[in-house]
Amino acid sequence: MKVEEIAEAVVKLPPDELARFRRWFTAFEASRGHSEEPHSAATKFGRLAGRAFAELKRRAKEP
């Protein structure tokens, strides 16, 4: 699965499932500890998930 596909799936999540996903991802990142590489895959995915969440909020405001 590509990151873009994951982002599309995240955007389509209903609010309760999105909240559940965010809790899981936060715990996932925390369990990995601090990476020596500042732009690790988890960090990139976190940013992508944040963008997907922002897009979902933007779409919710559209008529």
> How many domains are contained in the chain?
1
pLDDT digits (tens, 9 = 90+) for 21-37: 988 988 888 887 755 55
Please enumerate in sequence order all residues whose Cβ is within 8 A of that of 54, keeping only pairs 6 or more positions apart, or say none. none
- Residue 27 exposed, middle or buried by CB count within 10 Å (0-12, 13-18, 19+): exposed
**29 lies in which domain range?**
3-61
**Band of pLDDT at residue 38, cut at 50, 70 and 90:** low
This prediction has a pTM of 0.51
